[in-house]
Structure 1
């Protein structure tokens, strides 16, 4: 089960979100197809990825930023870009272009900080935009908990789209990341980074929430009329057979 779109249109063109999508995709394509051996790709990740053990020795501070634009495979990239595409435009709409960009970077740094603190001796490269994007999810949850999000459920040969509140989708996502981070699941995913980024994003939007009375005005719903899609779930009731 994963989200495919929300019903929360933005009021301005999300130029920064588009730019982040383009840069992440471009860096991946150039590195994936431009480096002709696994050794060269590994060297690239160690050069620009964040290695906690090296950082604790005072090295590689520039990788605190560069690691956010690297990905380890097509599915890694596609998953991150899907979440950024769905939820990023609304944060940019509320925060404005520059503040949104700074917010994104700040969440990525917070995500890296918690991951490094959790395993400071780790000598492999941390890569991916998921920590920063987790911050976008945290901010979205605070500002738009009642926005509708369509999720695609796939169970063997059963496919169906459900529309459910954002607080359910993002709450479940955060619970899974927290559980896996707490249990130290060894599957190569930096769960603590996801947790750190999500919390940072939720906290960083609080001043906007309080200053603008944002939630009070909209009661957690999108400030714009909800988007409707051609292939939305049918509202025709099902009549059971007698």
Structure 2
């Protein structure tokens, strides 16, 4: 018999990207779309992409106006979602990817791929709706994942501060991303949630007053789409959440 202790097993190698597959898939799609637009398409072809897939409010009022005349009904149906796959430049894309990774990770683990993708689409549409309400005859194409990312942020806020959630400071065992979420009443009654919502709303109102983000000076920020996506995510979270609610105790 050997007196030597058993050789310890090497620790498991940690994955390079510790993100849910649904978040990685959407991030990869956003990067791929931008790569094709930047490095493959000509300027004329990219204009066609914007015409077909960016959200342009005036399209719903003047469908036969100018270069909108060739697009038909289709873009009026899908552009409230597909605009969230397009970006102005790499900085715009990079900022959205950072926020997507930060807030999409706990939400993706909770929702799973199908619910997460549907939530992304619905909150993107919420952002487009808010933009349309404020600019019903706007001709400037709306692009960017910010509306959907804002909705994902709002969805994460609904459960990350709840008891046992990732930011609650109250461990209950198991995955913190699968603890029961706040109800709307509980969420708005939680000072941390309320402060987060107020700060987010206030920051976007500053964008509306002309505040520039570092590295994006002079870029027009569609702050209404941010607010619309956030409100859609905060209010509609319960329709997508697969985790049963805890009993409410005021």
Whether TM exceeds 0.5 here: the answer is yes
Distance in 1 separating the partners of 2:196 and 2:147: 17
In the alignment, does 2:247 pair up with 1:188?
A: no
Distance in 2 separating the partners of 1:121 and 1:206: 33
SS in 2 for 1:35: coil
Distance in 1 separating the partners of 2:197 and 2:89: 24
Q: Find the counterpart in structure 2 of residue 50 from structure 1.
A: 55
Deviation, 1:114, is: 0.8
Distance in 2 separating the partners of 1:78 and 1:190: 17
Taking the TM superposition and a 5 Å limit, the aligned residue runs for 1:63-102 are 63-102=79-118
Deviation, 1:145, is: 3.0
Deviation, 1:115, is: 0.4
Deviations 1:153-201 (A, max 9, x none): xxxxxxxxxxxx78766652332114434x5878511100000000110
- Alignment partner of 1:15 out of 14, 18, 21: 21
Q: Tell me, yes or no, if the aligned pair for 2:22 and 2:112 is still in contact at 8 Å.
A: no
169 and 16 in structure 1: CA distance in 2 versus 1, 3 angstrom threshold: same
Q: TM-score, normalised by structure 2?
A: 0.65
Distance in 2 separating the partners of 1:207 and 1:63: 23
Q: Tell me, yes or no, if the aligned pair for 2:207 and 2:221 is still in contact at 8 Å.
A: no
Aligned length: 189
115 and 51 in structure 1: CA distance in 2 versus 1, 3 angstrom threshold: same
Q: Find the counterpart in structure 2 of residue 198 from structure 1.
A: 230
Q: Which moved more, 1:91-100 or 1:205-214?
A: 205-214
Q: Which has the higher strand share?
A: 1
Moved over 4 A (4+): 165-171, 183-187, 207-211, 214-217
SS in 2 for 1:17: helix
Deviation, 1:101, is: 1.2
Higher RCO by CA contacts (8 Å cutoff, separation 6 or greater): 1
In the alignment, does 2:121 pair up with 1:105?
A: yes
Q: Tell me, yes or no, if the aligned pair for 2:115 and 2:240 is still in contact at 8 Å.
A: no
Q: Tell me, yes or no, if the aligned pair for 1:208 and 1:214 is still in contact at 8 Å.
A: no
Distance in 2 separating the partners of 1:82 and 1:36: 28
Deviation, 1:91, is: 0.9
121 and 140 in structure 1: CA distance in 2 versus 1, 3 angstrom threshold: same
* Cα RMSD, aligned residues only: 3.2
SS in 2 for 1:50: coil
Structure 1: 5+ residue runs without aligned partners?
1-11, 149-164, 218-242
Structure 2: 5+ residue runs without aligned partners?
1-17, 64-72, 168-191, 212-217
54 and 215 in structure 1: CA distance in 2 versus 1, 3 angstrom threshold: farther
Distance in 1 separating the partners of 2:148 and 2:161: 19
Q: TM-score, normalised by structure 1?
A: 0.67
